[in-house]
Amino acid sequence: MRQRQVSDGRHRIREFEAFTAGAAGRLLHTATLLTAEAQHGNPRARRLLTLALADTYACWDRLRGEDPYDRARQYLATRFAREAWHHYGGALDRFRPGPATALARLTPQERLILVLRLFEGVAEEQTAALLGLPRERVHTVCDRATATLLHPPHPTAPAAPEAASR
């Protein structure tokens, strides 16, 4: 009996290692997009990835046909939303990281919805269910985020020196 448990444990570890080898790069990229960090300077994204993989491993035996990638992606999204909510004044719309990437111009909610919808290809209905939002809200936020990225605000020019001396 003990030998069977050891064998099952090894099999579980091999399966999880294969999953991690195949999915960790894309999950890290998703986490990096969510945090709007630079690709090579992304400690928050790496922390999110580690937590998502740990959660996926903890429930590995209970997945029973569920896609482990979907489980890890769902954990990334909900953990990111929860951290943004708790650490930045209770509103997803307030926190904006430094200008590491173009996505930094977006609010965390806009980034989350945009990454899920456009990068990950999650349907509006699934995104809405995951985030507890109406489908119409997800559609509106995604459209607004896309417009912000496609048409960034023009930087205002500093006042002319002549006008300042008058």
Residue position matching structure tokens 């496609």: 150
How many Cα atoms sit within 13 Å of 52 on the Cβ side?
29
Q: Cβ contacts of residue 94 below 8 Å, gap of 6+?
A: 88, 107
Secondary structure (DSSP) of 12-66:
HHHHHHHHHHHHHHHHHHHHHHHHT-BTTB-HHHHHHHHHHHHHHHHTGGG-TTS
The pLDDT profile of the chain, 166 residues, written as one tens digit per residue, is 566 656 677 888 999 999 999 999 999 999 999 999 988 889 999 999 999 999 999 999 898 889 999 999 999 999 999 988 766 554 444 444 555 578 888 999 999 999 999 999 999 999 999 999 999 999 999 999 999 999 887 666 565 565 555 5
| pTM metric for this prediction | 0.79
